[in-house]
Amino acid sequence: MATQTKKAKKSKPTGPTTLDLVVKAIAALNDTKGSSGVAIKKQIKATGVERSSVFVNKALKRGVATGVLKQVKGTGASGTFKLDTAKAKKAEQEKAKKQKAVQRKKDLLEKQKKKRAEAKAKKDAKKEGCKEGQETCSKKAVKKKSAAKPKKAVKPKKPAAKKPTKKLHQRRRL
């Protein structure tokens, strides 16, 4: 029988995406006519990040498809590229909105946790009675506890009645 081996999940790479690196490289080159693919790749290597040219080419194509980049000359990953500033600003604004929404959710969850903890603390304080030094309140709390939950008597179970056994073979008279 064949044994199955579990495949390890691929972890996402850390750091900026290749498209982000391409956008930064184009901004750093600041060519008015547009930056060539070769110049973009050199700029990325100059920043100290090693990316395969295949990934850079894919990022260039994806940037043109999504509208972050504008292709001035050429087709595919060859030619010259510029930043599409209007769409890039929109993309940044959307990204900022998403980050704010995530932060709001986190803050809301923290508030809910604090409220739950405070409610639990109040409930525990009520169970123990009123503030220290007030004997009358604690006596009432004790009375409420005993009156609130009367214990039920446990009835013992009766043993099950035995069933009569059937005769396996009965004789038949003629």
Q: Residues 115, 98: one domain?
A: yes
Name the pTM for this structure.
0.47
Encode pLDDT of 61-91 as tens digits. 999 998 889 999 988 888 999 988 777 677 7
Q: In this predicted model, which residue has the larger pLDDT, 81 or 150?
A: 81
Q: Residues 63, 76: one domain?
A: yes
Q: Residues 41, 78: one domain?
A: yes
Q: Does the pLDDT at position 123 exceed 90?
A: no
Q: Residues 27, 43: one domain?
A: yes
Least confident of 22-36, 48-62, 113-127: 113-127
Q: Does the pLDDT at position 163 exceed 70?
A: no
Look at residues 97, 114, 130 and tell me which one is the last residue of a structural domain: 130
- DSSP of 124-152, one letter per residue? HHHHH-SSTT-HHHHHHHHHHHHHH-PPP
Q: Residues 75, 96: one domain?
A: no
Q: Residues 96, 65: one domain?
A: no
Domain enclosing residue 108, as ranges: 86-130
For residue 5, tell me if it sits in a domain.
no
CA angle at 28 for the pair 23 and 54, rounded to the nearest 5°: 45
Instruction: Write down the pLDDT at residue 108.
Output: 92
| CB neighbour burial string for 11-29, b if at least 16 within 10 angstroms, e if fewer | eeeeeeebbebbbbbbeee
Q: Residues 113, 76: one domain?
A: no
For residue 116, tell me if it sits in a domain.
yes
Q: Residues 77, 92: one domain?
A: no
Q: Residues 45, 57: one domain?
A: yes
Look at residues 130, 145, 164 and tell me which one is the last residue of a structural domain: 130
Least confident of 41-50, 145-154, 159-168: 145-154
The CATH number assigned to the domain holding 29 equals 1.10.10.10
Q: Does the pLDDT at position 59 exceed 70?
A: yes
Indicate the average pLDDT of the chain.
79
Q: Residues 76, 98: one domain?
A: no
Count up the domains in the chain and report the number. Answer: 2
Q: How far is CA 143 from the centre of its chain?
A: 47
Measured CA to CA, the distance from residue 137 to residue 125 in angstroms comes to 12
Instruction: Write down the pLDDT at residue 5.
Output: 67
